[in-house]
Amino acid sequence: MTVPRSRGSQIYLVQLAAVVVGLVLVFLGPWRVGMTVIGAAFLLGAVARAAVPLDHTGMLRVRGKIFDIAWMAFLGVALVLLAIVVPPQPA
């Protein structure tokens, strides 16, 4: 297995791994922590998309730069807010 050459592709794989960890946490029970991990992964992806130069974006680039940043930031904020706002359910 080879490591991707572009910095964006490496960041994308780290982001993907964080999403998988978050999904496992959601599945195992502490869903708020899992959703926060997934949201944080998207927020870090948005920051990375803004910081990585265009010729190194690799798999991190889907559409235009503004769209990618806005969409990942929106998803990240929405998931973190979901984890915070949903009231605890009675047992």
How do the domains of the chain map onto residue ranges?
Answer: 7-85
Q: Could you identify the residue written with the tokens 């998803």?
A: 75
Q: Bigger pLDDT: 4 or 72? A: 72
Cα 36 from chain centroid (whole Å): 10
Q: Is the dihedral of CA 68, 70, 72, 75 positive or negative?
A: negative
pLDDT, tens only, 33-81: 999 999 999 999 999 999 988 888 787 788 889 999 999 999 999 999 9
